Structure 1
Amino acid sequence: MTDAAYTLVYDPNPAGKASVSEFRALLEKGTDESKIDAMKQILVTMLDGNPMPELLMHVIRYVMPSKNKELKKLLYFYWEIVPKVESDGKLRQEMILVCNAIQRDLQHPNEYIRGNTLRFLTKLHEPELLEQLVPSARACLEHRHAYVRKYVIFAIYTIYTVSDHLIPDAPEIINDFLVTETDPTCKRNAFVALGNVDRNAALRYIQDNVAALSTLDPLLQLAFIEFIRKDKAPELRTRYIALLTELLDSPSNAVAFEASTTLTGLTSNPSVISLASTRLIELVNKEPDNNVKLIVLERIEQIDNKNPGILEDSTLDILRVLSTPDLDIRKKAIDLALQLTSSRNVDDVLKLYKKELQKTVNSDADKSVDYRQLLISAIHKTALEFASVTATDVVDLLLEFLPEISTVAATDILAFIKEVIEKYPDLKSTIITRLNSSLHEIKSGKVFRGALWIIGEYSTTEKDIQNSWKSIRECIGEVPILQSEKKKHSDVEETQEEDAQSTHKPVVLPDGTYATESALTIEKIKKEQSRPPLRQFIFDGDFYTSAVLASTFVKLILRFEEVSKKADVLNALKAEGMLTLVSILRVGDSYYVAKKIDEDSAERILTAITYIAEGEANKKLLELAFLDATKDAFKVQLAAEDKKKAKRDAAELQKHRQEVDDVVHFRQFGKIDNDDVEDSDLSAATGVKVEEDLSSRLNKIVQLTGFSDPVYAEAHVKVHQFDVVLDVLLVNQTTETLRNLHVEFATLGDLKVLDKPTTQNIPAHGFFKIQTTIKVTSADTGVIFGNIVYDGGHGLENKIVILNDVHVDIMSYIKPGKCSENRFRTMWDEFEWENKIAIKSNLPSLKDYLDALLAGTNMACLTPGAVIGEECQFLSANLYARSSFGEDALANLCIEKSVDGPIVGHVRIRSKGQGLALSMGDKVAAIARNTNKVKVTHV
């Protein structure tokens, strides 16, 4: 193992390091400024793995005598990491000179140099060096400056920890120092040291200061809390709880936070937990820092998971944080409130959501749309969980905002209403009535189509059907549409002619200006612009909505025929429906619309007219197609979603399940070492520790050079979350020593080499291992290449061995993700990079190809499983994945298969960046190639 590095320095130029001889020249002849630059380079080189022990005497001779403060600070960084012992474990002779210099700095008149030297002693772990420095360190205990005293107490503690015989009276020294010290930082450091060396003395000090606990400095209060957290004496738990309860009222937010979290770990008493949680909720609402708010909310969530039901009464207090404009905080607060909502507080929570939703409608903020979406989702989940209490109120609330919000949010509302109306038939008439009243205010074609589907499927009574028909007719306006529009346009043209004839007679307004338009013309224009919504969709060229309207007319007529015997009303509905649909067809071919009607919509409308006029012949088939099939498909979709939810709930329950015969461990009944407790807590937090299978490393080894090359090299590629580590084995296959051998790596793509392997001499047939780290910044295909360079013999030029390329697999950074349909469609429209790959595969079924595609690309299928059937010859599915760097990858699969032919189709991949789209396309193409390989069954 290498020595631990205590100071990490970023290396901006890993390839441009000087040699040892160049460092020596810089230290010998340079000025203080050049020595500072040289020392920085030396530190970075040493931290990269090259200790350069031969530089030690030059540093002692040419750097240590300098009085430059910055250079002296760098010098102490150098003492931290320089090798201080020989290979046999004995202290190096040069360190005696270093020890003398440190001793002089401990007696330096400048308090900052003395304090910096004492801080260095806390990182020194060689008893031979510390033994000579003990008297000088003890003399600093009475220094006048607090900067020195706050470090000397930790220095004494470190010396005692390394070797207690060097300063056996350290506990008494620390205790006396704590009693007499007045500086808050020094007292805090002294108590921390005392708690680690003498627990009983620390307990006595806490007991002596209990009466004045609230007046102590926050630093010392935090030290008390940390001591209590580490101390596991069950006999003192009651006193600890009382002490921490008093610290909850501290004016310092840090003290209150630490006291609250420590209290929740010490006891499960509901009253104490509630008190600590209330203080944390106050911190969330008072603390201005958003990061602190998120941390405290996470801690409150942990408390709720550990003590369910205690925080229900605090739900509204937690939701006060919604006044914060940050969306992440709002999302965290709403997620927490969803866990805490119960039948007792659901009404108040929904009122608060309604108030916040009203704010988003009237707000022009950039994130108001996302926040509105978040609120609607929260209302949706709350209403489904407490439907018997809140469904009616929630539907009224959401339909009230339906015309005022965006298309995406309104679509979510309609999806929720469909789910509620299917699961709770008693609310059917109420919801249909409320939806009919909001129909004329809807301005989005997609939302209107959703409303038409609900009306057509769930208007089951005679009254509901007639009211729905009336509302739809009001949204169409005057029919026939073409004749009424011609009449309007002729009236406007006549008005314009009259205005043109009267232009020679200018009209003077009361303010003295001339009127340019007549009131009649303006009124006609306004009347033209204020069309009913369905009529406006028709003139805008949205004939898909007209096709949905045709299906809705057929459903309402078939349903009315089932529930009513009024033949005259039925005939009137049929006549009016056919007149409306024929009118739409005629206006669709006129020049009044933005674009002509498409063939598909025209065919569907004509088919609906035929069903209305001649439906008696195939009445049973029509009822099956229009009244039963669509609703059954929706029920299957809901059942699939419920099954997924039940599976997730069962998995969550299984995670926390305990068998009745499991052993219950009580920590209070036995003495447990700190290390054992920490190990068990770590295991519980991270899961079961899995040992790495050494044989699996063979699958990740890449050969970099050939067996006949002078240097054989192979690398084990280890992929972490944001970097790639190459463990390279070098073998000298010659009979000569290869001098100054080093490996140079370079990259293509969003990769960056972080460190440069050191130069080494490899003896004949010798082995050597190096390690380098490659930083990965995006899920893009990357290539690592390089070469091996070593000195040629007898003055010849350097010899080079070219390495094979190492390709970084992006699948290590792609993970399946979940995404709503609306979010998927929004991103699909926003992302500009698309990669379309043609598919031809010999797999036996469409489902097999989908499974192979999901396994090969690490994507998740967003299309419900019930929609993907085995008997169908066509398959269309949306796929989604998310990279470790926050990049979204979208894919749409469209394939078909004939009876005996191959699977053909295409995959469209979209992403925000070009690299990810191309990389995923390569994976899809590779899957297609692998599935087309010919399998030899016999010879």
Structure 2
Amino acid sequence: MSEIAYTLVYDSNPASKVSVAEFRTLLEKGRDESKIDAMKQILVAMLDGNPMPDLLMHVIRYVMPSKNKELKKLLYFYWEIVSKHDEQGKLRQEMILVCNAIQRDLQHPNEYIRGNTLRFLTKLHEPELLEQLVPSARACLEHRHAYVRKYAIFAIYSIYQVSDHLIPDAAEIINDFLVTETDPTCKRNAFISLGNLDHEAALRYIQDSISNLSDADPLLQLAFIEFIRRDKSTELRSRYVALLTELLDANSNTVVYEAAHSLTLLSSNASVISQAASKFIELAIKEADNNIKLIVLEKIHEIHVANPGVLEDLTLDILRILSCQDIDIRSKAISIALELVSSRNVDEIIKLFKKELQKSVNDSYDKSTQYRGVLISAIHQTAIKFGQVAGGVVDLLLDFLPELSSSSESDILGFVKEVIEKFPELRSSILARLVGALSQVRSGKIYRGVLWIIGEYALEEKEIQSVWKQIRESIGEVPIVQSEQRLHLAGEDGQSEESTAAVSSKPVVLADGTYATESALTSDNKKKLSKDDTSRPPLRHFILTGDFYTAAILASTFVKLVLRLEEITDADVKVLNALKAEGLLILVSILRAGQSSIVAKQIDEDSAERILTAITYIAEGKKSKLLEVAFLEATRDAFKSQVQEREQKKALKDADELLKHSHAVDEVVSFRQLSKAQPKSVNDEDLTAATGVKVEEDLSSRLKKIVQLTGFSDPVYAEAYVKTHQFDVVLDVLLVNQTTETLKNLHVDFATLGDLKVIDKPTTQNIPPHGFFKISTTIKVTSADTGVIFGNIVYDGGHGAESRVVILNDVHVDIMDYIKPAKCNEAKFRSMWNEFEWENKINIKSTLPSLKDYFVAVLEGTNMSNLTPGAVIGEECQFLSANLYSKSSFGEDALANLCVEKKGEFITGHVRIRAKGQGLALSLGDRVAGLSKKGTGIKLDKV
């Protein structure tokens, strides 16, 4: 009852304006249907800022006598918003007639008219009018219909709140009503009112009702819970906890939710918190609505954050929610479980994750691929945190490696890399499993990842020979060109060797519009290789389909294996030379195949150069220490540094979480009221949460947000202070009349471009000569696109002249207020980069002194975070490439890739920005382009 309620009214046609005279005509001569339409328009106009006091008597004469129920309902809306006092602040004489009509409606035989009238009394705040209505309102407490009685209770309470001398015994009346009432809604309303009027009487009623609490109506149970939550008496807390614990077994899920939530607020006892969390988990499992499930899961997470370690025994119960098919609910449950996992329950959680992963492989659910990715990521995090389960987890994931999608395989490989680096005792078994899986891998990306792991961690001679044998089988027969031609010729049935060799040719049109000649042999091979041919070994299939990046990685792996085998002192020289010769044969065969017509795509220059370099290194052997460092130490050290950096970040994060819930015994208690200067370490959010009053920002920051709307020589000077909230912009406009005349009917009309919408319209005012006036308007923001607010000031001209207009300057909404830095992993970044269709490429030319300065300027100017690990730029660095990411307040993702280099005194390059919507990509692009122009000091020689 103490909360303020608002009614939102939508004007479907704001341009149409009906005069007061037309409204009078509609009310005088119209039928009830036309009067209903007229009253609706009158209500919208009044809420829009036009009070129309001249219509009051017409409404009394022509609308109030009507018996139409819809019109009577609109009439009470009109009484609610109409001004009841004159210009001197006295009650208007017409309201006496209104009061008599309200009194008649309070005695109306129709219960719905009575109830609607009583509901209106709760919004009436004039004691002069309420004084005459008190007897009728009290009489409604004994009405036979519950619809009347439930509003009569609130009417009595509201009248007492307005003026307690009108009903001095309101608490006694409500208490007596509560004892004798049987309707649940009326009892709920009566208890709420009694709790606000007489705290002790409400407590006595709760004590009298404890024996029948479980059988009480859910509405009354919810009222009890709300009363307990608002009660501040600490001496009754234990009794309240016992009462709420009993309500946890109620039949209504709403009551159970509110009781569990109130328990977490009242008590910090571990058993009580655990009991409340168990009820939340039951609700999340039983409820069918996915939104309710997410809300309950969020509540469980809040309990864990406020009470760390208490919910550890409920981890498996939380994971029962995985039976739901919604991916968001599953992800939320798994993320909560990962925070609760410990050495005591890690084995059971890993077993559950394994079962879910096995089920997801055969699941036909459309989000099963995404769910597998979530499970693999969860298993990854758990195994890295608890090394005792890493071995079994790796074996399971490698079993699924050929069956999962490419995104899931990438996650598995990332996990295997980290495990094989952190746990040396598992390397030999993991390498054996990876080598065995090579023959089944059909993804070039996954094959490259496996080759990198093999090249870095195959350290023993036995392992190197086993790897080499498997790679040799994956290549197939060499030389590749001759064997493929022989297979093609053998497949030509009914043709002689001569006729097959004389292949025909035909002209084809290339992508650029030119003509070229294509042989039938090449065309047939391309048709064959365009299909997923599983008959060929994996590496051979990659080469014939034009995946020479994988071939280049294979060449680097050969070099690593040969160099490492040369390091082994007891290695057989004959075996080493045989491997070298075989490696050279394979690489030369790949080069020849890449330059022939049997492949779907010719080899690129970069891959050919890398393969030729590898051939040189293998032929010459280990002659340079630098070569050994580059192939055997550099890449592994780089990966090791990445793993260590992730561990350091995780340790810092865990330390920060620990500090949030710990306090030093000698920590100084800071009293804001006693300190002369407020230290920056004091958290203003605590003060805001406690008082509900936001800490005011300093004057200098306010001055920066002031925008001049008109010129100093205009008749009306205007300036606006732009305040940005989470989803709206508030303009506080100061208007100054710079003329010697009174500006009549002055109003400001605002309009917008972009995803902006004007919510409220400023009122019309008369401004005296040299007078000041302030108005405020709210602009709703629906996306992080660039928006423009424009408008004009309109006021009446003198002596019947037309209205005069002053055009306002445009106000550009700064999108940086809605864009915040965010973090995501590399896999998610690449997935979004491929998914987003809007790209904005900005060419860069800046004169900032270094790449580091430009990089910092881009991060600060776009509110984006750096996702590239180890992007520390030294003075000697002349090239920079980094990925950036941010998220708007509306959930929009923004990606950026920065590629710049230092050429002389200029920094050149480009920034590519991708987003789901065009507006965000263009807005951020304009921001980056502005930063580049701002940093340049280029002098123009010609225009």
Q: Structure 2 length as normaliser, TM-score?
A: 0.90
Q: Distance in 2 between matches of 1:171 and 1:685?
A: 30
Counterparts in 2 of 1:804-883, with a 5 A limit?
804-866=809-871, 868-883=873-888
CA contact (8 A) 2:688 2:695 kept: no
Matched, 1:484 2:483: yes
* Contact preservation (8 Å) 1:153, 1:174: yes
1:639 aligns with 2:644: yes
Instruction: Check 1:685–1:882 CA distance in 2 against 1; reply closer, same or farther (3 A cut).
Output: farther
Pairing of 1:411-810 with structure 2 (within 5 A)? 411-494=410-493, 529-563=534-568, 564-618=570-624, 620-662=625-667, 683-684=688-689, 689-810=694-815
Distance 1:528 1:50 in 2: 77
Q: CA deviation at 1:172?
A: 1.8
1:919 corresponds in structure 2 to 923
Is the contact between residue 99 and residue 129 of structure 1 (CA under 8 Å) also seen in structure 2? yes
What does residue range 97-496 of structure 1 map to in structure 2 within 5 Å?
Answer: 97-387=97-387, 389-494=388-493
In structure 2, stretches of 5+ residues that fail to align are 500-527, 671-683
2:851·2:873 contact (CA, 8 Å) conserved in 1? no
Q: How much identity, in percent, do the aligned residues show?
A: 74
Deviation of 1:614 (Å)? 0.6
Retained in 2: the 8 A contact 1:836–1:921? Answer: yes
CA gap of 1:77–1:880, structure 2 versus 1, over 3 A, is same
Deviates more, 1:288-297 or 1:725-734: 725-734
Structure 1 residue 884 and structure 2 residue 892: aligned?
no
Distance 1:714 1:79, change over 3 A: same
Determine helix, strand or coil for the equivalent of 2:257. Answer: helix
| Deviating more after overlay: 431-440 vs 549-558 | 431-440
CA distance in 1, matches of 2:768, 2:692: 45
Task: Tell me by how many angstroms 1:848 deviates.
Answer: 0.6
Residues 653 and 13 (structure 1 numbering): CA distance in 2 closer, same or farther, change over 3 Å? farther
Kept in 1, the 8 Å contact 2:529–2:600? The answer is no
The CA distance in 2 between the partners of 1:593 and 1:687, in whole Å, is 71
Q: Matched residues in 1 for 2:552 and 2:692: separation?
A: 55
* Post-superposition offset of 1:346: 1.1
Q: Which residue number in structure 2 is paired with residue 517 of structure 1? A: none
Deviation of 1:663 after TM superposition, in Å, equals 7.9
Deviation sequence 1:84-139 (CA, Å, 0-9, x none): 33455433333222222211111111111101111111222222222211100111
Task: Specify the SS of the correspondent of 2:735.
Answer: strand
Q: Against the structure 1 CA distance between its residues 755 and 528, is the aligned structure 2 distance closer, same or farther, given a 3 Å change threshold?
A: closer
Q: 1:905 to 1:866 in 2, by over 3 A?
A: closer
Q: CA separation in 2, counterparts of 1:910 and 1:526?
A: 32
Q: 1:77: how far off?
A: 1.9
Q: State the shift of 1:698 in Å.
A: 2.1
- Amino acid across the alignment from 1:358: Q
Distance (Å, rounded) in 2 between the aligned partners of 1:87 and 1:4: 26
How far does the alpha carbon of each residue in 1:714-746 deviate from its partner, in whole angstroms, 9 at most, with x for none? 222222222222222222222222223222222
> Contact 1:481–1:583 (CA<8 Å) still a contact in 2?
yes
Q: How does 1:14-33 map to 2 (within 5 A)?
A: 14-33=14-33
1:10 and 1:527 map into 2 onto residues whose CA distance is 59
Give the TM-score taking structure 1 as reference length.
Answer: 0.91
CA contact (8 A) 1:361 1:405 kept: yes
Shift of 1:549: 0.5
Distance 1:912 1:303 in 2: 35
SS in 2 for 1:929: helix
Secondary structure of the residue aligned to 1:494 is: coil
Q: How far did 1:772 drift?
A: 2.2
Which residue in 2 is equivalent to 1:519?
none
CA contact (8 A) 2:622 2:628 kept: no
1:640·1:866 contact (CA, 8 Å) conserved in 2?
A: no
8 Å Cα contact 1:57-1:94 kept in structure 2: yes
Cα deviation, residue 682, structure 1: 7.2
State the partner residue of 2:506.
Answer: none
Q: CA deviation at 1:374?
A: 1.3
Rounded to whole Å, the distance in 2 between the matches of 1:370 and 1:53 is: 62
User: Which whole-Å CA distance do the structure 2 matches of 1:742 and 1:814 have between them?
Assistant: 33
Query: Partner of 1:504 in structure 2?
Result: none
Deviation at 1:524, TM superposition (A): 14
Q: 1: CA distance between counterparts of 2:340 and 2:318?
A: 10
Amino acid at match of 2:435: N
Secondary structure in structure 1 of the residue aligned to 2:749: strand
Residues 680, 869 of structure 1: CA spacing in aligned structure 2 closer, same or farther, 3 A cutoff? closer
**Residues 1:688 and 1:478: Cα distance change in structure 2 (over 3 Å):** farther
**Which secondary structure state, in structure 2, belongs to the residue aligned with residue 590 of structure 1?**
coil
For residues 926 and 636 of structure 1, the distance between their equivalents in structure 2, rounded to whole angstroms, comes to 36
Q: For 1:718 and 1:524, locate their aligned partners in 2 and report how far apart those are by CA, in whole Å.
A: 61
Offset at residue 687 of structure 1 (A): 11
**CA offset digits 1:662-700 (Å, max 9, x no partner):** 5899xxxxxxxxxxxxx9987458999532223432222
Distance change in 2, residues 1:685/1:13 (3 Å) = farther
Structure 1 residues 680 and 608, CA gap change in structure 2 (3 angstroms): closer
Check 1:394–1:870 CA distance in 2 against 1; reply closer, same or farther (3 A cut). farther
Structure 1: tracts of 5 or more residues without a match: 501-522, 666-678
Cα drift, residue 81 of structure 1:
2.3
Q: In the TM superposition, what is the alpha-carbon distance from 1:209 to its structure 2 partner?
A: 2.2
State how far apart, in whole Å, the 2-side matches of 1:495 and 1:584 are.
Answer: 31
1:821-857 Cα offsets, whole Å, 9 max, x none, are 1222222222222221111111111011010011111
